[in-house]
Structure 1
Amino acid sequence: MRSLSGFFSYLFVGVFFYLAITKATTNPSLFLNLHGLAIVFGGILVAGLASFPWTILKDAVVATFRALNTKSKINHLASDELLLLSMAYQKGLNEFERVSQNLNHSFVKDSANLILEGIQHEFIIELLEKRINEKRTQVQSHMNVLLTLSKYSPAMGLAATVLGLVSLLDKLATADMGQLGIGMAIALSGTFYGIIISNLIFTPLSELIASSGDIEIKEEEMIADAIDSMLSKKNPLVIGELINSYLPTNQKLNFIEKIREVA
């Protein structure tokens, strides 16, 4: 998971609801409504497929899992490889090509390949900016999918409750009051499911995608700025300080030491 805070947050919420349910009733099984859960999740799936193409829904799911496993800070691999590239670029294209073959950061490697293809400086920066803007659009699209599903969830929960009440009213003439009370409690659990799924699953995950996407976009903007400076033949130390301007104070790097280590 992206951080232990997310895991412990859901663990805390689970414990909180367990204690709340067990204290509120002597029969916790009233909150277990498999029929209601099926209606809520089935309704969300149908509404999602009606609202978005399957490929967009699939991409949103992939983006969610990626966000759960993304670090909450800029990857230092990018800064290290940018420094190596800038030093190699000063020594000539042969050295630059040799260093670029060992790159692991995908966006840094793509940027280096554009340089090796002989594309003009201005057009390289334009291409990188277009890719960053496309990333921004994708993040917004994935976030929008989850926000839309979060709006559907309470409605699907209410639908499950209504269906449960209809079934309950059908038995009104033959059931005793005790059974009617239990049936009504189970029916109302559908609304509970819808609210919980909306506010504890879809909405937080949409914010997670947004924050994770912001970090990735900031990282790519840092790379584009560093590549621009490198092509302008600026000193690697200047490029290092440019990279530091994108990093929080507690994550700033000592590029003088790094240059000495590499040199």
Structure 2
Amino acid sequence: MDIATLIGIVGGLGLIVGAILLGGNLFAFVDAPSLVVVVGGTMAATLVMFPLKTVISSFKVAMKAFLAKDPNPQELVEQVVSLADKARKESLVALEKVEIDDPFLKKGVRLVADGSSQAQVQSILESEINFLKQRHRRGQNVFKGLGGAAPAFGMIGTLVGLVNMLQTLDEPEAIGPAMAVALLTTFYGAVMANLVFLPVARKLEERSNDEQLVLNVAMEGVLSILNGEHPHLVREKLLSFLPPASREGEG
């Protein structure tokens, strides 16, 4: 579980609630009609922007922001080097008997063991990566859409509240509470967009970048094995994909 995401959201809400409690009454910031306008309007606009199936699947993808395990590219590098060593000592066909947990690497190794050409292997693996990018981008775009719609409907709710307030100008004692309720929709929209939707979209983007890095390392490793490169050269080539700090102690 990614504890940073949970700490960020809970910590942000805690800071907001703490500031409210220090300055006034927490229940003054609770208004059901305002929540209905912001939450309902945001979801309605999102359903207009994206198909229902995409919206539902995006929330499943969003769980990666909380539950996804950080990939370990160093471990993958060593696994590929081990496969390259086996291929040089025995043969490419011998790789068929190796147990590989990672499905992407397994597909690439099976293609190599089956005698596929470099162009075929590279084309298939690149297509896999590209379709992964598209799937991830759809989930990110849904949350970006939510992040854009929430403040907009917050402002719409505020305008509705102001219109209602202006209709009661002959009652001065009602203006203050009505104005407070009108502003709550903007408050809700800003919090939802900037503490949940947009940060989750950005976290999903980072997760996708990390996953693509691992896939690119695996693809380059598979192509190196196919070309019969020395395991030491394979290790050095794959480590070049990683940040310098991640290479310490390798090789």
On whether the aligned pair clears a TM of 0.5, the verdict is yes
Instruction: Structure 1 unaligned segments of length 5 or more: list them.
Output: 257-263
Deviation at 1:176, TM superposition (A): 6.5
For residues 105 and 10 of structure 1, what CA distance do their matches in structure 2 show? 32
Residue pairs, 1:242-253, within 5 angstroms: 242-252=237-247
Contact 1:60/1:142 (<8 A) preserved: yes
Q: Secondary structure at the match of 2:63?
A: helix
The runs of at least 4 consecutive aligned structure 1 residues that moved more than 6 Å come to none
Deviation at 1:168, TM superposition (A): 4.6
TM-score, normalised with respect to structure 1: 0.84
- Aligned residue-pair number: 250
For residues 4 and 217 of structure 2, what CA distance do their matches in structure 1 show? 27
Residue pairs, 1:68-107, within 5 angstroms: 68-72=66-70, 74-90=72-88, 91-99=90-98, 102-107=99-104
Deviation at 1:237, TM superposition (A): 1.8
Residue matched to 2:218:
223
CA RMSD of aligned residues (A): 2.4
Contact 2:155/2:186 (<8 A) preserved: yes
Deviation at 1:34, TM superposition (A): 2.0
For residues 56 and 86 of structure 2, what CA distance do their matches in structure 1 show? 40
Say if 1:165 and 1:68 are closer, same or farther in 2 by CA, change over 3 A.
same
Residue matched to 1:261:
none
Residue matched to 1:209:
204
Identical amino acids, percent of aligned pairs: 24
Residue matched to 1:58:
56
Residue pairs, 1:154-193, within 5 angstroms: 154-168=151-165, 177=173, 179-193=174-188
Contact 2:147/2:198 (<8 A) preserved: yes
Q: Which amino acid aligns with 2:161?
A: G
Contact 1:43/1:156 (<8 A) preserved: yes
Contact 2:150/2:193 (<8 A) preserved: yes
Contact 2:93/2:114 (<8 A) preserved: no
For residues 104 and 58 of structure 1, what CA distance do their matches in structure 2 show? 29
Contact 1:78/1:223 (<8 A) preserved: yes
Instruction: Structure 2 unaligned segments of length 5 or more: list them.
Output: none
Residue matched to 1:123:
120
For residues 12 and 144 of structure 1, what CA distance do their matches in structure 2 show? 25
Deviation at 1:125, TM superposition (A): 0.9
Contact 2:95/2:110 (<8 A) preserved: no
For residues 108 and 20 of structure 1, what CA distance do their matches in structure 2 show? 50
Deviation at 1:255, TM superposition (A): 5.8
Moved more, 189-198 or 56-65: 56-65
TM-score, normalised with respect to structure 2: 0.88
Deviation at 1:38, TM superposition (A): 1.9
